[in-house]
Amino acid sequence: MLGERTGLPVFSMKVGKPDKGAEVIYLGWMMAGIVKGLRRAVKHWNVRAVCAVGMATSTLAQQEVTKKACSLPETVPVFLLQGGYNYQRLRSFYRLMMAAFQGAMRKQLEKKEHLTPDEADSLDLLRHGGDRVDPAALEPVLAWLNAR
């Protein structure tokens, strides 16, 4: 969606990578507060911004994502985007990991008497899966790009 909205080229980490040292906006999925593949990307390219995609809404994700976990200087913005969750599409390794995480998180959230909207949404995703991708969530990224 970002490539469509901006006209910027889109690359995969596996196919058609940008030249070494190229300026990039890195988009990656989060696991345990870490953006997967980001450390490798930082070694190869000049990462100018990061879009971290996870199950949680931005409010919850902000508690997990830090510049330290991303190994980035303070000048590099980290944009948090909510994705979705589909347990059936996970590969066996991640399926095992998420089974344990999902059970623990569900129990923790189900024990609470009152859930915040973010917590209620996370519980719904854990129970039923779903897609929370919202093109409007790219607005802060687009504003940052336009300001450059």
Residue 45's domain spans which residues?
A: 1-83+132-148
Count how many domains the chain has: 2
Tokens 């040292």 belong to 21
Is residue 42 within 8 Å of residue 71, measured between CB atoms?
yes
Amino acid at residue number 68: K
Q: Order across the sheet with 34-35: list the strands.
A: 34-35, 23-31, 46-54, 78-82
Is residue 86 within 8 Å of residue 99, measured between CB atoms?
no
Tens digits of residue pLDDT in 39-84: 888 888 999 999 988 887 666 555 456 556 666 787 888 888 888 8
Are residues 120 and 64 part of one domain? Answer: no
Distance CA 102, CA 94 (A): 11
- For a pLDDT cut of 70, what percent of the chain falls above it? 90
Are residues 115 and 69 part of one domain? Answer: no
Tokens 């593949």 belong to 37
Are residues 95 and 23 part of one domain? Answer: no
CA-to-CA separations, 21 to 11, 16, 41, in angstroms, rounded: 14, 14, 10
Task: Check residue 2 and give its pLDDT.
Answer: 94
Are residues 142 and 122 part of one domain? Answer: no
pTM: 0.80
